[in-house]
A = this chain, B = another copy of it.
């Protein structure tokens, strides 16, 4: 690919630029191949246009590169949700929020998948250097869902038993939809708007219960 165009060495004091280039290279390999196995130290170095040992200036080992990719994926997910607007209508805002979640998850599917599969890696490896990543790893994104659902309750537009439970159901459904549309594309999926209307209608509007536990 770009491995034969020679890289310009960073100027003094700007050596840390390479760190970002390494993460970008690793992310590109992941998203292009669909497998985190493609993130090899030598492969990343090739892609970034540097010699393999140059990685060690910025990362202690291969695993740290993957952790950095995961950490950045969570930052990007949160940014994508943070910029969602609603213009006064809380239900519209909830819809937009869910749509932004799906846009990220379906548009960067492998980053999304690996981020959730390995979120504990990111937490453990980077806990000291990037503070409170524990909260950030998905929890931040989840918090936005809970808040948005809570906002739907206050104006009397809809009813909800528990924003926390509603948000959890909504989250698992969004995650399942994003994951399965990626991994089973041949299935006759309803489109995104239809799915979101169904989900949000079910989650936010319904009052009655008809499930039963295993004992009755």
Establish whether residues A183 and B213, one from each chain, have CB atoms under 8 Å apart when the complex forms: no
Contact of A211 among B117, B168, B169, B200 (CB under 8 A): B200
16 A-B contacts (beta carbon < 8 Å): A116-B179, A116-B180, A117-B183, A119-B184, A138-B184, A169-B199, A175-B175, A175-B179, A197-B211, A199-B211, A200-B211, A201-B209, A205-B208, A205-B209, A205-B210, A206-B208
A155 interfacial contact with B, CB 8 Å: no
Contact of A212 among B92, B139, B165, B175 (CB under 8 A): B92
Establish whether residues B213 and A208, one from each chain, have CB atoms under 8 Å apart when the complex forms: no
Query: In the complex where A201-B208, A211-B196, A211-B200 touch, is A119 in contact with B183 (Cβ < 8 A)?
Result: yes
5 smallest beta-carbon distances between A and B, as pairs:
A176-B176, A197-B211, A172-B176, A175-B176, A205-B210
Residues A167-216 near B (CB distance < 8 A): 168-169, 171-177, 179-180, 183-184, 186-187, 189-190, 193-206, 208-214, 216
A140 interfacial contact with B, CB 8 Å: no
Establish whether residues A169 and B184, one from each chain, have CB atoms under 8 Å apart when the complex forms: no
Residues of B near A91 (CB, < 8 A) are 210-212
A95 interfacial contact with B, CB 8 Å: yes
A158 interfacial contact with B, CB 8 Å: yes
CA gap between A196 and B169 in the complex, in Å: 10
